[in-house]
Structure 1
């Protein structure tokens, strides 16, 4: 596996594990960390699922621009460049993946870290986790796609509460709101999140990729357009070896063995 400065990568079977690795800063993310994340996701090398986690006590406490934006001649321009050239491309790379993504969150998922955690298809959180849009507390606005993502996940009223009040949302409340997939004990987080990623990696990979991209497209299309996209995706899925295996397993009353093709 390639060596990175701000993340750790590990291939565990068919799962690519990516771990943010600045535990002394609760994995506060400099632009280079998201560049490395994007690079790691661009070279799956056959991995059929991705697990994103944080080293130490936190998932990601937000962006860390090292004072660069505040010290710049034009702080607004520097922030815009950091988002459009570094943070946003990594989040878009997650959206464009052909394989499912799981995030494992303990401690803070704040700011851009909240956006990263919720960009996964499944967010598994420990009882210590919390989600925070703290921008209002420093006179800034949500970024990393949060203003698009949160209303779609939890509705306008709750998204407004998160963004305009800037208060922590504990893991239990996030689960009640439908923002995340599951809450587990802190000492069970790594195993539970990996087990989910491993389950997804054993699924019909091409169909799963079509599903995740189809849902993204459906959020931006009308009812009829969504059905057309579904029909196109069904045509593509029907031509895969996994679909043949699934059909045969159904007829033979056995569990299918999907190979991801």
Structure 2
């Protein structure tokens, strides 16, 4: 696929309505730097605002998807650390990074080609759909370093696999192979390594042919549902449908049903 030349540590291309974001520091197992995070967040924000982009894939080169955080290049306060500095760094860094994936208005697919550890695991799990190579593995590595999981881990994992399983992964920090991750519900599908890119492309291009705004509103509803009571969730659903019925794609979907033909969605 055609790639932008700068910066080389995050490759980017747009094909058939799909924004491909590729971590490209294979020598470091794609441990993500501050600058890489800023670049990815900017690309996700651009995808949200660009009607020509209708799906996103996040993947990586080499044997690792993302081995965690590489703190080189982080903003330097230039002075003595005071209480609140670490919390501020987490809010402005890891949490903002993961939120940018969840808040992207286009569906985001993770194509996990190898090790996803720490913030790398949370990057994958924040995506709407997760494809994993048979060689992939997921590691809640924080406990191995005596750290609390950050980047939304304690929020994401219980919602995916329940609190007991989440605690098991976070308390022990064991490596979870792709097949076990699929069984637990961390990933949607495991494929042979040679099929990962092809499957991600098929899924993303299928999404890119769909009713983009309806999918965006559905994403928002599902992401908010576990934090809302029934009354709030039902009200949000009704409002989302009200908004959606103003789109061209909703009108096309209804018309195609009445006319007994295949719909042609424009993403608008």
TM-score under structure 2 length normalisation: 0.91
Whole-Å Cα distance in 1 between the matches of residues 62 and 7 of structure 2? Answer: 17
Change in CA separation of 1:75 and 1:50 when aligned onto 2, cut-off 3 Å:
farther
Q: CA deviation at 1:90?
A: 2.3
1:107 touches 1:129 (CA, 8 Å); kept in 2?
yes
Change in CA separation of 1:11 and 1:76 when aligned onto 2, cut-off 3 Å:
farther
For the aligned residue pairs, the C-alpha RMSD in angstroms reads 2.0
2:10 touches 2:40 (CA, 8 Å); kept in 1?
yes
Please show how residues 223-234 of structure 1 align to structure 2 within 5 Å. 223-234=230-241
2:33 touches 2:73 (CA, 8 Å); kept in 1?
no
Q: Do structure 1's residue 12 and structure 2's residue 15 form an aligned pair? A: yes
Whole-Å Cα distance in 2 between the matches of residues 157 and 96 of structure 1? Answer: 27
Number of corresponding residues: 259
Q: CA deviation at 1:79?
A: 4.4
Q: CA deviation at 1:5?
A: 4.4
SS at match of 2:187: coil
Out of 59, 64, 72, the residue aligned to residue 65 of structure 2 is 59
SS at match of 2:64: coil
Q: CA deviation at 1:82?
A: 3.6
Out of 17, 24, 29, the residue aligned to residue 26 of structure 1 is 29
Out of 72, 96, 103, the residue aligned to residue 89 of structure 1 is 96
Q: Do structure 1's residue 248 and structure 2's residue 255 form an aligned pair? A: yes
Out of 174, 179, 184, the residue aligned to residue 177 of structure 1 is 184
1:7-50 Cα distance to aligned partner (Å, 9 max, x none): 11001110000001111111001111111111111222320100
Out of 44, 55, 58, the residue aligned to residue 49 of structure 1 is 55
Change in CA separation of 1:18 and 1:75 when aligned onto 2, cut-off 3 Å:
farther
Partner of 2:117: 110
Whole-Å Cα distance in 2 between the matches of residues 109 and 260 of structure 1? Answer: 32
1:135 touches 1:163 (CA, 8 Å); kept in 2?
yes
Q: CA deviation at 1:78?
A: 5.8
TM-score under structure 1 length normalisation: 0.93
Which ranges of structure 1 fall in alignment gaps of 5 or more residues?
none
Q: CA deviation at 1:74?
A: 3.9
Q: CA deviation at 1:131?
A: 0.7
Moved more, 207-216 or 59-68: 59-68
SS at match of 2:150: coil
Which ranges of structure 2 fall in alignment gaps of 5 or more residues?
none
Partner of 1:195: 202
